[in-house]
Structure 1
C-alpha cells in the first residue's frame, strides 16, 4: 500500500461513509468502483478508506496496480511474501490465484485495484473470491453494473481548506488574500490534484503572492510549472501532474473522440446544450455523436452530464482539450462552425423577449460571449456585430443596463478596428450604444452617438432607408425626453412618413412611430391628438403581435397614462392593471417596465385619494428602480417625485420635503435647468412651502417653474396653466398681508 502524502484529508467525509456502505452491502462480492476524471483524488480516497478501516479488514489489505503488470502475478507474489503461502508452481497463474484465495488468512480482506483501465484483464481473477473478500477498484471508466461511487471535484469550501492545509506554515498568506485564494481554487475547477500541486508550489515559494500565482496560471494555463509534479514532492500520493494525468485518458480515445473533445473545448466553461454541439457538426449523424459522447467521453469521465440534454467539461479538462486542439487538422473548421452557430443564436434573440424566451436562450449566452471574447477572428465581417448584440440585447431587455453596456462598447471598438470608421455595422454599433446610454439616462453621451449614426447611415444608405428612419426616431425620442419638443416633432414625423412609404401602413415599425409621436403630444398636453395615435398603435400591435406580447403591454400602459393625465381614472385603472399583469407574466417583477407600470398605478391611486393603495406601489417601484437603474436615473427621480406627492397629499410635509428637494437636485443634474420635469419639481416644492405657510420660499420657485413651462411648453399647456393658477392663489394669500 502506498504512503499518503496528504497533510490533512478534507472534503471527503461523506464519500468515505458511502464507500464503506457500498462495500458492506453486497452479500457476495462487493466491487465498488471509485470512478472519476484524472486528478479527482480516487487513489487518495481509497488510501484514506484503507487507513480508516484497517481494523475492519483483519484478514489483511492487498494493494494491486494493474498497469504495472498482471494482477494475478501480483496476488501470488503478495501471498508468498506477506502471508507465507506456497501455491504449486506447476499450476497456471489463474489456478495459483485461486489457491491463494482459498488459503488466505482468516477474516475480512480488502483488495484494492488501483487505476484499472481495462476491467476485462482483471475480471477473470475475481469470480472465485469468497464473500469475505471486498474489492475496491479505482478507475477513470464506468464499469457497467458494478456498484460505483462516482467522485466529483471538491466543494469550494473544501478546496479552500485543502489549500489552507498545505500552507499551514504561512497561514497569513491565505487570510491576507482570501478572495484570491478562492479565485485560485475556482480557476483550478476545485480539482484536488490541481489545488494540491499549486498549494505545494506556493509552500515552496514563500515569497510568491497569490495574485502572481493566479496571473501565471491565467497566462501559461496548463504549461504553468506549478501544475506539474516536482521531483521534490516524492511524498505525494498522486504520481503525475495535471497534464500527465489527463494525457492518460487522451491516449485511450479514438480520433473521432478527440475531435469531439476539442470541439467541446471551444464552448465556454459553462453547461453546454447538446443541440448546439449537433448544430456545429451538421454533417455528422446524431447517433454517432451520441455514441462518442456516451461510450467514450462520459465513460472516461472526460465529460459530465449536468441535466437532460446538457453537458459540461471541467475547466482544466477544457484547457487540456484546447491544448490538444492546436495539433488537430479540423480545429480551424470547428472554430468557424462554432462561431457560425452562436452568431445564429444571437440573431434569433427577439427585440422584446419574454421571460420564457429569455429562459430558453440563456444557456447559450456564455458560449456566445466566448465567441466575442476569444474567437471573434473566426466571425465573418457581415456577422461581426451579432457576436456582441446578442449578449447586450438579452441584458438590455431585462433592464440589466450595466451588464449590457460593455458589450455595446466592445462592439463599437471591434467593428471600427476591423471594418473602418465608415461602415453600416459601425453605424449600428453607434446607434445601439446610444440607445443604451439613453435608457441609462445618460442623455448628453447618447446625443452625439445618435447624430453620428444618423449621418453615417444617410451617407452609406441614402435618405430613404429603414435604418435612417430608426435613427431619426431614436434621436427624436432623446429630444422628447430632454423636453426639446420642437426639435423632436419633425424628426418623429419624418420617421413615420419614411416607414409608411417603405413598409406600408400595417407594420410594427409604423406602430412604433405612431406610439412615439403620440408620446410627444402627450407630454405637450395635446391629448386630443395623442389619443387616436395611441389607439392606432395599440390596434396594430394587437393584430401583428397578439395580446400576449411585451410591446402590446407597453401600448396599453401608454394609453392608460394618457387617460390618467386626462383624469379619466376608471379607464386608466383598467388599462394599467391589464398592462401590469401582462408585464408580470411576460417580463417578471424584476424589470424596469414593470416598475414603470407600478409607478403610474400608484400615481393614479394618489390622484383618487386611495393613499393606502398607492404607497406600497410607490415604494416597490422606487426600490426596484434604484436596484436596476442606480440612484442617478430619471426614472428614480420620477418615483421620488411621486412618493413626495403622495406624502404631500396626506399632509406628511416633513416626509415630503426631503424627497422633493432630492428630486429637484437629481433632475437638474440629469436633465438640465430648463427641462419641463425640473419645472414640475420646482412647482411641487413651491406648493409644499405654500402648504407649510412658507410663502417667501414658495413664490420664487413658482416663478421659475412658470418661466420654464412658458418657454418649453407654451402658455396654454396644462402644466403652465396649473403653475399660473398656483401662483395666483399664493398672491391672493399674500395680498392682505401686504396692505
Structure 2
C-alpha cells in the first residue's frame, strides 16, 4: 500500500494534511461522492497556499461536511479523493488507484454524500420524500463508487444538506434493487466467494468520465494490481485487466495449460435451486491453491450432487485453467473419460508431445498415465477434476470385483482441485459435504420451473405435493416434467402418488429394502402415462432391465424384431419409430441422451439413471422375463465386431458393460443358454480382445460345451472354439493347455477336411501359425520351423506371398535361423543343448503333422 495522505481538522477548524505510512495510519473516515464542478484538489490545500479562494469553491462544502461528520463520530482524521491525491504526479496517482479499495476497506466509516438527493430538515425520516431521488441518484451509476459501496464495513448515506438517510445495512433491500449486488457482498463476504462473471455484472451499467477508468475502477474488486496508462483506450485497459485476473487465479503460465470449458462433456443439468451453504463450503475448501484440495459430495441418489458440482464449475470457471468432467461409474468409463481429456487438451495445444505420442484408441491405461503426468506438471496447478458418480467405490467392505479403485485415477502431485460425487459415505479422499434434501420453498421452485406453472408458492395443493416428495430433486423434477405435459392438478397428482405407493407396497416387497422409495412411486405414475401415450416406449423401458443402464442405441436392438411382440417389433421397424419411443422417455425425464462430443462409432447413445434402472429391474420386471433376457444376450453378441472391422475396439468398449451384465444372468441361470454356443463364442472373442482373459475363458468353455453337445466334437465350429481357447491359454501363459487345444484343433481340421483342404483353410492355417509360435516360445525350434513352413505355404496359396500373415511368418523363420546359428556356436564351444533323443522325437512329431 502506498503512502496515505489524510486530512486533519485542528481545534481552530483549520484543515491540514497529515501524511502517514502504511504502518502508522490512524483511524479515519472516508468520503464517497460524485465529482462536480469546482472540486478542491491537492494543490489548493498545500502548505502556504492561500485558502480563501479554496473555501469559495463548491467542493469545499463536501470537505467541511466530511470533517464535521468525522468529528461527530469521534474521528480526528478523514480522507477525500479530490484533494488527498496529487493527480499531477503519475506515480502517486497509479499507486493510489491500486490502493484505493484497501483504503476504503480499512476506513472506520464511509460517508456517501449524495449531491442530487435533497431532504428538507423536517422530512429526513420520511423515506417517501427522498426515496425516488435516492434510487435515481447519479452515485449509483458511476464506476468508482462501486468499490466505495462494497469495500467499507460501515457505510452511511447523506443528503446534500448533510441529513443522514440510512446505512448500507438499513437500506440493503433498496440498494440490491438498484444495483443487483448480492446481499452477502454488501454485508462484507469475501469477494473471492463471488464469481468473476458476477463481479463484472455489478459494473455493467456504471460509467466513468475517462474511458480507461472503467477498467481501472475494478482493480480492487478483483484484487489485482496494474499500472494505469491513460491514453491506451478502454478496450486495451480491459484486456490488461483480464490478463491480470487470469494471472491472479490461474497463475502466470496459465496460457500454456488453458483448456476451454467443454460443456458438452458435462451431464445435462436439471433445474437447479441455490444451495448457497454447500457452494460456499465447497469454495472454502477449493480456493486454496497452495496444495491439493478435494471435496466429496455424498448423499442419496437423486439428491442433486451432480447439479451442485456443475453449478460450482460454472460459477468459478474463470478461476481454473481447465475443468474436466469424468464418469466414475466404472474403471472402463473413467479410462474413456481420460481419453476425452487427452483429446480436449490436444485440441487446444496440439504440440503437447506427452499426449500426442500415445495411441488413444488402443492403450487406455497409457492414456490415463500420460494425462495424469500432464496434470502433475509443476506449472499446471490450477485445474479442476470432477469425478461424477463414484457410486461403487472399492472399500474394505465392498466385495464387488467391479468396484472402482479411484486412487488409480487421481493425479499424483500435491496441487489442483478435485470434486467427487458419490452415494457412498465411505469415500474419504477429501473434505466431505453431505448433500441433503431441499426445503419446501426450494422444492416449489423446482416444480414450478419444470412444470411451467408459476405462482404456486402459496398453493396448498402444490405445497402438500412437495412435502410428500420430501425434498428429493430428482423426484421433484420428474413430477414437474410430468405436470408440464398434462392438465392434471397438483391434488390429483398427489392422489395418484399415494394410490400408486400403496399398490407398490403390497405388490412389490423388494421395495421395502430399497432406499429410494419415493422415486419409485413418482416413476410409476410417469410410466403409466407413458404406457398410455406409446406402448412401444413402455416396452423399451422394460427391455432396458436386461441391458446395462448406460449406452443403449438403435443398432444394438436390431435383433429384437425376432421376438413375437408387436410393440418391440415396432421399436426397430426403422430408426424413426425408435426415436419416437425414446423421445417420449426423454420428455418425461426417465432417459437421458448423451450430449457429449460426437461419437466415433455408432449412433447417439442413451442412458438411464442408476436408480431408475433399479426401479425398472425390480418393479417393471418383478416377474423376470427369460425371453427378454435371452433376446438381450443375442443383441449384444450379434454386435461384437471382428478385429479387422473399422473402429472395432471402440465398439467393443461400448458393448463390454452390456456383456458384463449378461454374464451375471448366465451365472445366475436367469437366461436359457441352450443352443447359444455361437453367442458364447462371440462374447469370448469380446472379452479376449479387451484383455479380460478369465471372463473369456469362461465364455469359450461354455461355447465349447454347447458346440460339442449340438454339433459334435469334430465339427468345424467346435474346432474354431478349440483354437480360440488355445490362443487364450497361450496369452494366459498356460502353454501346456494351449498345446493340447492346438493339437486337437489341427487334427480335427485335418480329419474333417482332409490334409489338402486343411492346408488351404484359413482357420487351420491360423492354428498352424499359433502352434508355430508356441513351439518357438517353448524352445522347440525345429518343430516351430516345420509348422511355420506349412502355414506359410498355405497363406501364400490362399492370400498371396505379400499378405500380412506371410510376411510375419517369414520374419519369424528368419529369426529362427539366426537363433539356430547362435545355438550351433554354443554347441561348438561346449555349451549344453537339448537332449538329442527328445529333439528327434519332436522332429518326428512335426514331420508326421506335415505329411
Shorter-chain TM band: 0.3 to 0.5
* Greater relative CO, 1 or 2 (CA 8 Å, sep 6+): 1
Greater radius of gyration (CA):
2
Structure in which a larger fraction of residues adopt helix: 1
Q: TM-score w.r.t. structure 2 length?
A: 0.35
